[in-house]
Amino acid sequence: MSVTVRAAAKLNLHLGVGAPREDGFHPLDTVYQAISLYDDVTVSEAPAGSADELVVTGSSHVDAAGVPTDATNIALRALAEVACGSAHAVQIAKQVPVAGGMAGGSADGAAALLAHDRLHDLRQPDDLLLAQAARLGSDVPFSLVGGTARGRGRGEVVEPIVDHGTWWWVVVPAAVGLSTPEVYRHFDRLHPDAPAQPAEPTELLAALATGEPVRLARALHNDLQEPAIDLRPELGDLIERGEAEGALRGMVSGSGPTCVFLCDSQEGSTEVLTALSASYDVVLTAVGPVAGAHLLG
């Protein structure tokens, strides 16, 4: 028997970053949105006495070779946390860009936790799964919850928020990823006097409740955009180009280097996709919000 769980990529509609805490983590006030790019994670039991096995495949735009297949893969780390020594075979079919600032690894971790729970019919309560997820990584709880949600702490304290929109995005991944810790280190260099409290998403929350794309576009905010563009200046050119082609607003997704463009409608996103495809190898469209990790079939 096997269980397949689908988990979505995330964007940060708002990413406020404060000065590093004593434990080294940056306090965040963020608004996540799950969008329609998915990783599918299939988990089955492996024969007793064997080791965990992992196979990773990817869509044409995904660098599956950049994903570790050893015990450091977050899906296997998730199983090591919860499986009490029994072995599993895992397949990950990736659509989410690797090291792209879209939390693909976190999606796989969340999917593995849920798949293990259902494979063994444990039916653990949500708060237990969320606590397991928070131990794996800051973005993993949101990957379970999905939709549109505010994240505080390191991002792991997640609270769903009102979102009356259907938001159309164009997504432009980069061929080479950016390291999230490197982008945070560069944020610290650029902002040695960052406030302890990260910026709050007050206007963004109001915009989400109206469902109005022009208003949301104005309220998008990412404190990691400046360090990401400083490390990769071509991201700034890409954002200008997408906005010139008709997107309401472009921004770096999380720590980058994927850039995302909010459009006024599905037709608008198709037009921006067509225009950017003339110059960029991989251009995708996606819609949000979509569900958190869930069983397929």
Tokens of 227: 């360090």
Within positions 11 to 50, which residues make up the interface with ligand ATP, using CB under 6 A? none
Q: Which of 10, 25, 20 is nearest to 141 (CA)?
A: 10
Stretch that binds ligand ATP, among 61-69, 225-233, 237-245, 283-291 (CB under 6 A): 61-69
Q: Interface with ligand ATP includes 254 (CB under 6 A)?
A: yes
Q: By C-beta, is 94 or 241 nearer to ligand ATP? A: 94
Q: Which of 21, 55, 68, 128 binds ligand ATP (CB under 6 A)?
A: 68
Which part of the chain contacts ligand ATP (CB under 6 A), choosing from 22-30, 43-51, 65-73, 81-89?
A: 65-73
> Taking CB under 6 A as the rule, does residue 223 contact ligand ATP?
no
Q: How far is the CB of 138 from ligand ATP (least distance, A)?
A: 7
Residue 155 found at the interface with ligand ATP (CB under 6 A): no
How many residues touch ligand ATP under the rule CB under 6 A: the total is 22
Question: Active site includes 10?
Answer: yes
Catalytic site residue from 40, 52, 139, 223: 139
Q: Does 224 bind ligand ATP (CB under 6 A)?
A: no
What is the distance between the alpha carbons of residues 264 and 132, in angstroms, rounded to a whole number?
38
CB of 55 to ligand ATP, least distance (A): 12
Binding of ligand ATP by 268 (CB under 6 A)? no
Nearest Cα residue to 30 out of 150, 134, 135 = 150
Residue 62 interacts with ligand ATP (CB under 6 A)?
Answer: no
Cβ proximity to ligand ATP, 92 vs 262, nearer residue: 92
Residue number with CB closer to ligand ATP (255 or 269): 255
Confirm or reject binding of residue 99 to ligand ATP (CB under 6 A): yes
CB-wise, 115 or 275, nearer to ligand ATP? 115
Q: Which stretch binds ligand ATP (CB under 6 A): 105-113, 192-200, 203-211, 280-288?
A: 105-113
SS3 labels along the chain: CEEEEEEEEEEEEEEEECCCCCCCCCCEEEEEEEEEEEEEEEEEECCCCCCCEEEEEECCCCCHHHCCCCCCCHHHHHHHHHCCCCCEEEEEEECCCCCCCCCHHHHHHHHHHHHHHHHCCCCCCHHHHHHHHHHHCCCHHHHHHECEEEEEECCCEEEECCCCCCEEEEEECCCCCCCHHHHHHHHHHHCCCCCCCCCCCHHHHHHHHHCCHHHHHHHCEECCHHHHHHHCCHHHHHHHHHHHCCCCEEEECCCCCCEEEEECCHHHHHHHHHHHHCCCCCCEEEEECCECCEECC
By CB under 6 A, is residue 101 in contact with ligand ATP?
A: yes
Q: What would you measure as the largest C-alpha separation in the chain, in angstroms?
A: 58
- Whether residue 224 contacts residue 11, with contact meaning beta carbons closer than 8 Å, is answered with no
- For the question of residue 94 being annotated catalytic, the response is no
Q: Which of 31, 75, 144, 260 binds ligand ATP (CB under 6 A)?
A: 75
Residues acting as catalytic residues: 10, 139
List residues near ligand ATP by CB under 6 A: 66-68, 73-75, 92, 98-106, 108, 139, 177, 180, 254-255
